[in-house]
C-alpha cells in the first residue's frame, strides 16, 4: 500500500535543510590556468543536466506549484500517446526497456513535457513481471547494479533525472541508494523518491550526497476508482496551496487518463495553481536558483 498522509507531507517539508537537499550546489569554477597563447582549452559545461533539459517555469508565476509526474511511460503505447497529449507541462517518466524511446520522448518534448527515467528496482514481490527487466537489486554486486543503472540512463534521452519504479526492497538499502545517488550526482541529474514504502532511504541518501532531490507527496491513482482519483487531485491542490508546491504521481492507465483528460483542461484557472515541471519544484525545495526564462 502506498503512503499518502498529510502528516507525512508536513514532516518532510519541515525537515532540516540538509535533508531537503540544500547541499546540492553548482559545480566548481573551471580552471583556466592552462590557457596557452593561440589556443583555448574548452570551458566545461557548467549547466547541470537537470537544468539543461528542464522545461522552464513561466517567468514571474507566483501561483502554488502542482507538479504531476506520469510514470510507466513508453511501454503501453496507447496509454503513452494519451498521456503525451495531456495539457502541461507535465513530467513523463520513461521505462528504459520501452521500444522506440527516441521518437516517443521527442514527441512528448514537442508537447512541452519534461522527461525522467523510471528506473526498475527490486520489490517485495520479487517479480520481473512487475519490475520489468534488469531492476536494481540488493543481492547483486555493486558493479552489476551500476551497469544496469548506467545502461538505463543512457537509453532514455534528454532526462532531467530519475525516480524509482517499484523498489519496496531496493529503496530501503543504503548502499544501493548511495550507488544511485552517486551516479545521479556524477551526471548532474535530480532524483525523485516515488516513496512506495515508508522506510525508504532513497530521498535521504540522495540529499546527503548532494543530489537535488525530493519525495512524492500524492499518488493520484493508488485506487482504480475515478472518484478517489479526483479526491487525490483535490488533496494535491490542498497541499500545493498550503505549502506552495506539491508532487503528484499518476500512471497512463485508462481510468487515470479519463480523469486527467477531464480535470487538467482549465485546472490552473479553476484551482488557482500552476502546472509546473518536476525540476522547478525540486529546485524550489532545495533552494537552488534556476536561470530566468525569457518573457513569453
Helix, strand, coil percent content, the chain, rounded in steps of 5: 40, 15, 45
pLDDT value at residue 1: 42
**Is 290 within a domain?**
no
Q: What is the mean pLDDT of the chain?
A: 87
Identify the residue whose cell numbers are 574548452: 42
Cα(214)–Cα(195) distance, integer angstroms? 10
What percent of the chain is modeled with pLDDT above 90? Answer: 79
pLDDT value at residue 291: 76
**Is 188 within a domain?**
yes
pLDDT value at residue 129: 87
Q: How many CA atoms lie within 13 A of 13 on its CB side?
A: 18
Give, rounded to a whole angstrom, the gap between the first and last alpha carbons of the chain.
42
Ranking 52-61, 90-99, 109-118, 189-198 by mean pLDDT, the lowest is 52-61
The stretch 173-185 carries a mean pLDDT of: 98
Cα(133)–Cα(194) distance, integer angstroms? 19
Identify the residue whose cell numbers are 500517446: 81
Model-level pTM? Answer: 0.85
The stretch 198-207 carries a mean pLDDT of: 98
* Set of cell numbers at residue 28: 566548481
**Is 106 within a domain?**
yes
Using one digit for the tens of pLDDT, what is the confidence trace for 2-27?
A: 444 443 443 344 343 333 333 333 33
**Is 237 within a domain?**
yes
**Is 46 within a domain?**
no
- Closest by Cα among 21, 50, 54, 60 to 274: 60
**Is 235 within a domain?**
yes
Identify the burial level of 65 via C-beta atoms within 10 angstroms of its C-beta, where 0-12 means exposed, 13-18 middle and 19 or more buried. buried
- The three-class DSSP label of residue 7 is helix
The stretch 95-120 carries a mean pLDDT of: 98
Cα(119)–Cα(148) distance, integer angstroms? 10
The stretch 166-182 carries a mean pLDDT of: 98
Residue 281, domain CATH: 3.20.20.370
**Is 293 within a domain?**
no
**Is 5 within a domain?**
no
What is the sign of the dihedral through the CA atoms of 196, 200, 203 and 206?
A: negative
Parent domain of 97:
64-285
Query: How many domains in the chain?
Result: 1
Using one digit for the tens of pLDDT, what is the confidence trace for 151-164?
A: 999 999 999 999 99
Confidence band, pLDDT 50/70/90 cuts, at residue 45? low
Using one digit for the tens of pLDDT, what is the confidence trace for 21-36?
A: 333 333 333 332 332 3
Amino acid at each position: 500500500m502506498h503512503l499518502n498522509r498529510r502528516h507525512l507531507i508536513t514532516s518532510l517539508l519541515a525537515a532540516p535543510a540538509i535533508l531537503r537537499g540544500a547541499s546540492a550546489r553548482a559545480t566548481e569554477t573551471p580552471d583556466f590556468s592552462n590557457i596557452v597563447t593561440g589556443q583555448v582549452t574548452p570551458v566545461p559545461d557548467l549547466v547541470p543536466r537537470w537544468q539543461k533539459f528542464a522545461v522552464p517555469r513561466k517567468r514571474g508565476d507566483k501561483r502554488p506549484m502542482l507538479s504531476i509526474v506520469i510514470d510507466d511511460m513508453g511501454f503501453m503505447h496507447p496509454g503513452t500517446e494519451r498521456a503525451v497529449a495531456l495539457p502541461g507541462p507535465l513530467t513523463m517518466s520513461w521505462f528504459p526497456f520501452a521500444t522506440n524511446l527516441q521518437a516517443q520522448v521527442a514527441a512528448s518534448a514537442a508537447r512541452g513535457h519534461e522527461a525522467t527515467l523510471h528506473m526498475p528496482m527490486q520489490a517485495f514481490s520479487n517479480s520481473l513481471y512487475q519490475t520489468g527487466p534488469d531492476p536494481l537489486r540488493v543481492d547483486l554486486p555493486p558493479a552489476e547494479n551500476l551497469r544496469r543503472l548506467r545502461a538505463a540512463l543512457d537509453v532514455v534521452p534528454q532526462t532531467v533525472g530519475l525516480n524509482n519504479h517499484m523498489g519496496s526492497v531496493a529503496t530501503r538499502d543504503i548502499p544501493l541508494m548511495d550507488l544511485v545517488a552517486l551516479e545521479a550526482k556524477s551526471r548532474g541529474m535530480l532524483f525523485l523518491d516515488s516513496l512506495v514504502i515508508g522506510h525508504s532511504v532513497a530521498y535521504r541518501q540522495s540529499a546527503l550526497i548532494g543530489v537535488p532531490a525530493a519525495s512524492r507527496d500524492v499518488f493520484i491513482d493508488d485506487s482504480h476508482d475515478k472518484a478517489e482519483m479526483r479526491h487525490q487531485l483535490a488533496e494535491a491542490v490542498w497541499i500545493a496551496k498550503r505549502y506552495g508546491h506539491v508532487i503528484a504521481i499518476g500512471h497512463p492507465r485508462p481510468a487515470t487518463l479519463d480523469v486527467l483528460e477531464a480535470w487538467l483542461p482549465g485546472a490552473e484557472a479553476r484551482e488557482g495553481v500552476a502546472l509546473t515541471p518536476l525540476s522547478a519544484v525540486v529546485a524550489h525545495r532545495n533552494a537552488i536558483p534556476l536561470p530566468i526564462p525569457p518573457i513569453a
